[in-house]
Amino acid sequence: MKHRVSALAFCLFSGAAMASEPVEYQTKLAFSPDNSALTAVTTLEIPVEQITNGAVALFLNQNFSVKSVTGENISSFDIGQSNKVPVWNEVIIKFSEAGNSEPQFVSIEYAGSIDNEAQHGNFITANDLHLSIDSAWHPVFSDFSTPITGTVSVELGDDWQVFGPGTVTRSERSYQISSEHPTIDVSLYAEKQPARLDKEGFTVVHDGSNAEMAELVSRTGLQCFKQMNQRFGKLAPLESAQTVLLKRAGPSFARGNYISLSIQNLGADVHTHQYLCHELAHNWTSYTSAMSHDYWLVESFAEYISAQEIERVYGKEAFNNIVQGWQNRAKGEAFVWRPDADRRASHKVNYGLGPIALMKLQDKLGETDFNELVDWYMANDVTETEALLTKIASLADADTERWFRDLLAGS
């Protein structure tokens, strides 16, 4: 995802492997707005891949207390300051020998207050609340790459509206946010009687200070929403998307069909338009660990697709300005991908050298074959560069495949 990544996120990056399949969570959440507090019970699947030396480590907000950790085959649990991210705690859950060979389910009951004045942009007030990974309010696997899907049940009154990735439904006493799109964390926003713009499936929720910017986000976001669906939604249409626009600290980010924008991170109109297209395009890119050497595929395809949309709407000059940005960002980067390398794809690759390589590939293949390649990538579970190279050989020939392989390797 293209956004200003917090310092916390960089601290979390490691070379750990991603679980092959998403794991499930179920969380029940209640709030005490007067003291910016929450109480929660999270039931979480622990895959075997995450159990090391009989234990699993989960990040959690350092201001939270853990009342209990229960589950079959749990022998004990400890809580302490994380060495990786000193402003967070790690909950270390230890299993008996019987719990080391198959997935486990644990339930964690915890509570605490969110620091509304911290620079992570999370808060709980009497009128609205905003939660994301930046406050570690929800248990997160310490490898920062294990995909999760599930449901959060939020206890709030009828005068609140709730927004989050996936679908939001209302029962008698709570809202349910159900996400089938794999992410690494759980995010949501809720507000009493929010200001919102709803147009043809694209919703913008905004605070009072951002009414004018909300009109721009609504207009450009709807254009992207329609165009991405037209290009890639034939087999898997995106039924709706929502953007929350707030004057807050912290980075902008996206999770599936839910985008949280910090007004302080927004640039010119064209930049905002491209950002929205980039994030909406991710609804069709495959989930790949951000620590993977192949992660350039996810970001560079979304980046190039969003730049194509900018060219379609604003013209060649606007596209060339984006290309200039890629070239500036890519300076000093030697290669995109090599079969014998295992480094994490860098920011310079994902948003610089990678999309430049795709632009050169379009020139080599021609527009028709390149668009067929893009459609194939967006419609299939493509997580490895070797699969892309094989597809290029089938669209063109072995010489073109070798040319692109060498280009990626910096040869």
- Shared domain check, 154 and 34: yes
For residue 389, what pLDDT band results from cuts at 50, 70 and 90? very high
> Residue 9 above 60 pLDDT?
no
Lookup: tokens for 330: 């890519």
- Shared domain check, 219 and 107: no
CATH number, position 379:
1.10.390.10
Contact status, residue 339 vs residue 286, Cβ threshold 8 Å: no
* Mean pLDDT calculated for residue range 345-366: 97
| 176 occurs within a structural domain | yes
Q: How many CB atoms lie within 10 A of CB 84?
A: 15
Range of the structural domain that residue 208 is part of: 196-281
Q: How many CB atoms lie within 10 A of CB 257?
A: 25
Q: Which of 57, 40, 162, 175 is nearest to 112 (CA)?
A: 40
- Shared domain check, 306 and 275: no
* Lowest pLDDT segment from 18-27, 72-81, 264-273, 350-359: 18-27
State the Cα–Cα distance between residues 287 and 381, nearest whole angstrom. 8
Predicted confidence at residue 7, as pLDDT, reads: 38
CATH number, position 136:
2.60.40.1730
Task: Report the predicted TM-score, pTM, of the whole model to 2 decimal places.
Answer: 0.91
| 14 occurs within a structural domain | no
> Residue 1 above 60 pLDDT?
no
For residue 277, what is the enclosing H or E element?
Answer: helix 269-281
Predicted confidence at residue 172, as pLDDT, reads: 83
- Residue 139 backbone dihedrals phi, psi, to 5 degrees: -55, 135
Final residue in a domain of this structure, among 218, 253, 281:
281
Q: List, for residues 204-252, the tens digit of each pLDDT value.
A: 999 888 899 999 999 999 999 999 999 999 989 999 999 999 999 999 9
List, in order, residues 6 or more apart from 341 with CB less than 8 Å away: 293, 335
The count of domains in the chain is 3
- Shared domain check, 317 and 362: yes
- Shared domain check, 206 and 183: no
- Shared domain check, 339 and 211: no
Q: List, for residues 24-70, the tens digit of each pLDDT value.
A: 999 999 999 999 999 999 999 999 999 999 999 999 999 999 999 99
For residue 265, what pLDDT band results from cuts at 50, 70 and 90? confident
H and E: helices and strands count for the chain: 10, 20
Task: Report the half-sphere exposure of 233 (CA within 13 A, side-chain side).
Answer: 15
- Shared domain check, 314 and 266: no
